[in-house]
Amino acid sequence: MKLRDLLDEFELDWAQAASRIKQYPCYAMLDGAEIVVAGKGNDVTRAVAYSMLALNDALKTGPKGVHVTLLSPEPKLFPTEFISQREDLTVASLDDCTVKTADYVVYTGMCNQKIGDDIAQWTQEIAFADKVLRTLSAISMRRMILLSDYRAYGYSDTAMVMSEYEQLPPKEGLLNLPDTALIRSIEALCSAYAKQHGFVRTILRSAILIGARIMCQEDVLTRILTAVLKGEPLELCRSRYKSSYIYINDLLTALLFAMEGAPAGKVYNAAGNQATVSTGELTELLYHAFPNQADIRLKSPQDGQAPEIRAAAISDAKLRYYGWAPAVTMEDLLILKIKSMQEDGGTFIFNDTYEGKLTCVQQILLSFLLEIDRICKKHGIQYFLAGGTLLGAIRHGGFIPWDDDADVMMLREDYDKFCRVVQSELPENLFFQTPWTERRNHGVFAKIRINDTIFATKFTSRLLDMHNGIFFDVLCHDQTANHPLAQKLHIFATIMSRSLVFHKWGNTPIKTGGTHPYLCKAGTVLKRILPMPFLEWMQRRCLTLFARSKKSAYLYDGMGRNIRRGTFPKEWLGEAILVDFEGYRFPVPKEYDKYLTYLYGDYMQMIPVSERRTSHAIVLMDLGEYSGFRLSDE
């Protein structure tokens, strides 16, 4: 049983976060690792264990994967059926621990656990921590990671942002936050066991932790989020002092860096992306995200009155230095948390995407599509919805809710015919962009753009003398060889020719992540020497190498981003059927299931909720007279 069969989409998002780290250098070092996760069985313990198991589901570490042993007094942390079907998971109590050696031991300590003022609870927590550490110390391990949190710093009536080894004087810090002493005592106990038994311990301190289906130990924050969820008014004290927050996704990725990537034996802080804010900033973010629900009023505190949120602002610069980067912003973590509390059953999307212009952009793209459909019908040109547009049609009956572009695809004969007739068919406000209609453009496929608008990516924003209007992509799938070796050579030649054109256009060196460094250097020299018209001729020659073949039974996405996925049978783009898309009917391949599986694998699985922003990094956008455009307005 995989995690996606057990968890909802919000839980799955944070469970898989550690398996989605871009350019994490140490996945291979975890292959075959024995990982022990120990704790009281709270939400953090559960999240850590799920996160390690998700590495196996994603096949991220290697053929052996990791094995997780969970030591907890809570027997129902995982469903019995799940445990019985996972060979990579062992669940046991502390008293029944049989692990002799482990690569990594993660003890979740008091991280995100509520601590009351009852002295009896303190003694119980210390006794439990001592039992856990005695059990874990008998294991021969590479390193231990203790999860702690911001309460180790106490609370300061200054605007200080705390680094890992900074401490406040007792009168300012340790004595005015009762649970600080307990947090520090467990950290000290862990360090003492490490010294006595000769293992390496790393401490990872979390900011205020927020997560879907994760208990928030800060009662005040729970009260704030609940008030926004219910649309109830709330009054808080204004404060200029800031607190740091972190979404559970980022704590779990920070843990992976604490295990491998950052030096062992240190103390690290982990806070979210732009997530150190005052009470006033917190309420403004909530109002921006939920303007119809957030009714939080700030009042001036009375003399000597402490603010409701009493937590340290912490610096995580040290862990960032070693490559960790939190992904979820403060506003997004609040949205994710509250949306997960609503449980309305709908598809989650960030409502503020593109500053509220996403619906307008999608309406413009739909009008593009209708115009292309009209032209193709008039001239007998066969086309299909492509890429994310095809996926949206099948999975959503329209645009993927967070998608900001649209594509159609054609076979070579239809594509060339379309390029010949389209300019005479387009209305005056649209521009057909190819290297032959605009000298500054060297894109490999055609685009239709709207005049007097700007929709520039990070790359094209450097080329503002080129048409950068809102665009619709028109792609071609070309024939390739039938023999596997010839197919690979054809794809390689296409990639190289496209790379030469693209990097000469952008005046950038050719790189492939270091896989072929000498080939990259040679290509960089070639693209400087050879003129652009010759490179573009070579690119087109590669794309159309098998265009005249009557026996070719395979196609490839020579123009698109899926070129490295290889070839697929030509028959998949043979017959077309009509499907619903935003209330209209458009053609898709009859074999769309096979084609989408080739593109996306299990294409009915949506991307993680925290990543449901738009697919293009648009850095300059001006919709001009089309702002607020609706198709019905025509």
Short-list 411, 415, 543, CA closest to 490: 543
Residue 456's pLDDT is: 87
Confidence band, pLDDT 50/70/90 cuts, at residue 157: low
pLDDT at 75: 67
- Which of 253, 332, 319 lies closest to 48 in space, CA to CA? 253
H-helix or E-strand spanning residue 503: helix 484-506
User: What pLDDT digit, counting tens, does each position of 281-319 carry?
Assistant: 999 999 988 998 999 998 887 765 666 777 889 999 999
DSSP conformational letter for 211: B
What is the model's pLDDT at position 62?
86
Category of 618 on φ-ψ map: left (φ > 0), alpha (ψ -120 to 50) or beta = beta
Averaged pLDDT, 360-377: 93
Q: pLDDT digit string (tens) for 236-282?
A: 888 888 899 999 999 999 999 999 999 999 999 999 999 999 989 99
At 525-570, the pLDDT tens digits run: 888 889 999 999 999 999 999 999 999 999 999 998 899 999 999 9
Cα–Cα distances in Å, from 412 out to 371, 419, 431, 441?
A: 20, 10, 21, 21
**74: confidence class by pLDDT, cuts 50, 70, 90:** confident
- Give residue 520's pLDDT band: very low, low, confident or very high (50, 70, 90): confident
Residue 176 pLDDT exceeds 70:
no
Give the pLDDT of residue 143: 94
- pLDDT value at residue 174: 42
Q: Which of 9, 6, 1 is nearest to 607 (CA)?
A: 9
- The per-residue pLDDT for 175 is 43
Distances (CA, A) of 99 to 84, 93, 271: 19, 11, 33
Measured from the Cβ of residue 352, the count of other Cβ atoms closer than 10 Å reads 15
Type and span of the H or E element at 197:
helix 178-197
Residue-level pLDDT at 476: 95
Please indicate whether residue 574 or residue 516 has the higher confidence score (pLDDT): 574
Alpha-carbon separation of residue 158 from 173, 217, 233, 311 (angstroms): 10, 23, 29, 12
Report the C-alpha gap between 332 and 285 in whole angstroms. Answer: 9
Tokens of 126: 């210390």
Distance of CA 348 to the CA centre of its chain: 14
Q: Looking at residue 421, what is its pLDDT?
A: 95
> In the prediction, which pLDDT does 448 show?
94
| Cα separation values, 151 from 182, 279, 329, 613, 619, Å | 9, 18, 22, 33, 39
- Stretch 105-125: mean pLDDT: 87
Report the SS3 class of residue 52.
helix
Average model confidence (pLDDT) across the chain: 89
pLDDT higher at 517 or 376 = 376
Name which of 99, 115, 109 is nearest 146 in CA terms: 109
Question: How would residue 116 be classed by pLDDT, with cut points 50, 70 and 90?
Answer: confident
pLDDT value for 118: 77
Mean pLDDT of 111-133: 87
Residue bearing the bigger pLDDT, 227 or 173: 227
pLDDT at 49 over 60: yes
Residues 6 or more apart whose Cβ sits within 8 Å of residue 128: 40
Alpha-carbon Rg for the chain, nearest whole angstrom, is: 28
